[in-house]
A and B are shown apart, each in its own frame.
Chain A
Amino acid sequence: MTQAYAALKHSAQERERLREAQPRIRVGTALCGLAAGAGEVEEAFRKELQAKGRGAMVSEVGCLGLCYAEPLVDITIPGGPRVFYGNVTPDQVAELVQSHVVNGRPVAQRALAALGGGPALGIPDLHDLPMMKGQVRVALRNAGHIDPTDIDQYIAAGGYAALDKALSEMTPQQVTEQVTASGLRGRGGAAFPTGTKWRFIAGSPGPVKYILCNCEEGDPGAFNDKGILESDPHTLVEGMILAGYATGASNGIIFIRHGHEGPIERSRAALRHAYQAGLLGKNILGSSFSFEAQVSLVGESYVSGEETALMEAVEGKRAMPRYRPPFPAAVGAWGKPSNINNIKTLSYVPEIIAKGGAWFAGIGTERSKGTAILCLSGSIRRPGMMEVPMGMTLRHALEEMAGGVPEGRHLKLLQTGGPLGGVLTADKLDIAMDFDAMARAGAILGSGGIIVADDTTCAVDLTRLLVAFCQYESCGKCFPCRLGTTHMLEILERICRFQAQPGDIDLMRDIGKSMAVGSLCGHGQLGFNPVQSALNSFADEFAAHIQDKRCLAGVCTGEYLTPQRSRR
């Protein structure tokens, strides 16, 4: 251990001990929490504590993943269990403060779960909640537990130990070897082996080389990238510095969409604090390794998440993909060698270095190692974010953990891997979630978003919506995609208005073929996917709209509201 790290760790632990001596209230204030009203709940706690003259530490944490229970608050008094209260409203706050904080008695009937001594009070242990049971939390290990704006809490939880280990005991090659041995594959969509990617750029000449961290997360239905930034940004920062060390890079850039203020502010704060602690900048932890990092914001553009478009955006231009070759590892951002990884990919790295590649490779399946970080939303009892071992069946995740579709409804389809992924029908629930099994079933695991649709959904209407998204977000650089998505949308819109023309389906297939072969980037190449997979599974619904002029689900009325066409 470096002296510098020993000192950081010592003072972080000291401060943590002091904190434990007072009552602590943690409020989940990630986007899901705020949307459920966590801001008002936190305010109510602060007011109530002041009114009662009670000192307590109220802190904001990120997302534990139990989004169905937001606003989620947990209270610990010194020596007592940590008790989680779900769906808290401002008018419950007075009772919680009086009973739990002032009188020291947790309100068992309102409690969702507890850590340390729950069962004695008749409260289930957090890890026994259906949604938590079976999770293996690697990248999310601290999410919802630590204050994302407090670097001490990350360090006290073992943070930056992997960086310290790498800098004091390992060569850059050894770091890459561990990542290769872990079997880690990219979580940004393409599932490319991370160790291999790192070796490409390690061979490129310096001195200036970039590690770009992709947090654009444009897929609707995915919120795990923002979830990590809001909950535990230091795990990304540490992973990014480790990637820099392994590849000989000099600079890191965290790339986020403008407008999501929580994730942006928390990452900026994390970088600031890492600089102050000597974990970024010159001679990190007293070693000879130096690394600089900054946040780079992008305007609204889905395609800016594509790796070469991202480089254009970093340079401040229109986010339009570049031709390859040259590949980013040789000529990337600002013409310098660059490596792009998704935030989830990088967030695994600290644990891989701390525990070894073999440990990570022990989780998951033969060719998909580690965990999948899922975002479940839509028609499901317990929407939220969870981290499960690769290879778990969709059925287990959806039914056992998330509680299945609500009473009286039937599962119709799952939309996975973002709008360009496909749809899976209800009979595919027994496939194992890993990159290859999902691909064989005609879908992608991609970023981990799973949108659950029940029998009230019209497959044609949903397809129209997904294609409207693809049209809206086409960057416009190449015409098969720019015109193809527009033309396909026109056809789907007239199908939904019951005005289809003979041959429309064949026409869409033709357009889809041109898009697949003629488009420059994945957006156009995969743009026909949503249509293709809907046609495969729900041909009868298309036929009903076209021939019988009727919508089997009763959704399409001939009218719909939709955003204006893309202006690109």
Chain B
Amino acid sequence: MTSQSHALRQTIRQALAKRQDGTVTVLSSLLAVEDAIGYIPSEAIEEVADLTHTTVNDVWGVASFYTNFRFTPPGQHILEVCWGPTCHLLGAPAIVKAALDSLGLASEGDTPDGGVTFKYNTCLGACAQAPVMAIDHQLVGRATPQAAREKVSKLQAPKDASGQGRSVGARQ
């Protein structure tokens, strides 16, 4: 085991130990890992299988089902744009396009430098403020293509300038 992998396992074990809700399951364990490090490395699959007395295969089965899980580290920042029907009707396609263009991406994924991950979201839950996007889980309502471009250039600025609003997402 490399020391890097060892450190990762330590982090994963800590995340699993301090999860909040009662019943320990494969899914609750995977969510705890995602909250802590933002993705599910193969080390986590093994740790969760051990902890829940299941197999690596079982854990992969669960992890590959839920669309929030990813298996490589996410970008430093996450930009989500809602593609729900309300947001779609009020202009989400233009926002998606502006965001992708300024990130230089063709679709969902990470910028080559690992700076930003772009994701679609089925509904960010603030439909009354549509169109909605989220930057590092902070919601931005009544979004425009212009706002998307500005946020992207802020995210790509050398120093961390992602704003100071409050996160509604799960990353701590």
A residues whose Cβ falls under 8 Å from a Cβ of B: 31-32, 34-37, 39-40, 67-68, 70, 217-223, 226, 258-262, 264, 268, 294-302, 313-319, 375-379, 383-385, 415, 419, 449, 451, 453, 457, 462, 465-466, 469, 472-473, 475, 560-564, 566-568
CB contacts (< 8 Å) of A295 on chain B: these are 20-21
Q: Cβ of A377 and Cβ of B128 under 8 Å apart?
A: yes
B10 at the interface (CB under 8 A from A): no
With A36-B141, A260-B125, A567-B67 known as contacts, the answer to whether A296 contacts B85 (CB < 8 A) is no
Partner of A560, one of B34, B93, B142, B170: B93
CB contacts (< 8 Å) of A260 on chain B: these are 125, 168
Closest to A476 in B: B65
Cα distance A567–B26 when bound, in Å? 20
Cα distance A31–B25 when bound, in Å? 28
CB contacts (< 8 Å) of B21 on chain A: these are 268, 294-297
Partner of B23, one of A296, A451, A453, A473: A296
CB contacts (< 8 Å) of B65 on chain A: these are 299, 301, 318-319, 475, 568
Categorize the interface residue count of chain B. Answer: 35 or more
CB contacts (< 8 Å) of B52 on chain A: these are 316
Cα distance A300–B120 when bound, in Å? 12
With A375-B128, A377-B86 known as contacts, the answer to whether A561 contacts B122 (CB < 8 A) is no
B residues whose Cβ falls under 8 Å from a Cβ of A: 20-23, 25-31, 34, 52, 61-62, 64-69, 82-86, 88-90, 93, 96-97, 100, 107-108, 120, 122-130, 132, 137-142, 165-170
Q: Cβ of A40 and Cβ of B165 under 8 Å apart?
A: yes
Cα distance A321–B97 when bound, in Å? 36
CB contacts (< 8 Å) of B85 on chain A: these are 220-221, 378, 415, 419, 451, 462, 465-466, 469
CB contacts (< 8 Å) of A220 on chain B: these are 82, 84-86, 122-123, 127
Closest to A223 in B: B125
Q: Cβ of B126 and Cβ of A32 under 8 Å apart?
A: yes
In order of increasing CB-CB distance, the 9 nearest A-B pairs are A316-B25, A299-B66, A220-B84, A35-B141, A67-B128, A220-B123, A35-B126, A35-B139, A39-B166
22 contacts between A and B (CB under 8 A): A34-B166, A34-B168, A35-B141, A37-B141, A70-B129, A258-B68, A258-B170, A268-B20, A297-B28, A297-B31, A298-B66, A299-B65, A314-B25, A316-B29, A316-B52, A316-B62, A317-B25, A317-B26, A319-B65, A385-B128, A465-B83, A561-B100
Cα distance A300–B86 when bound, in Å? 19
CB contacts (< 8 Å) of B69 on chain A: these are 299
Q: Cβ of B170 and Cβ of A39 under 8 Å apart?
A: no
Cα distance A39–B135 when bound, in Å? 14
Closest to A264 in B: B170
Q: Cβ of A299 and Cβ of B128 under 8 Å apart?
A: no
Closest to B66 in A: A299
Q: Cβ of A317 and Cβ of B27 under 8 Å apart?
A: yes
Partner of B86, one of A261, A451, A473, A560: A451
Most buried by B among A383, A457, A563: A563
Distance to closest chain B CB from A192 (angstroms): 25
Most buried by A among B132, B168, B170: B168
CB contacts (< 8 Å) of A563 on chain B: these are 83, 107-108, 120
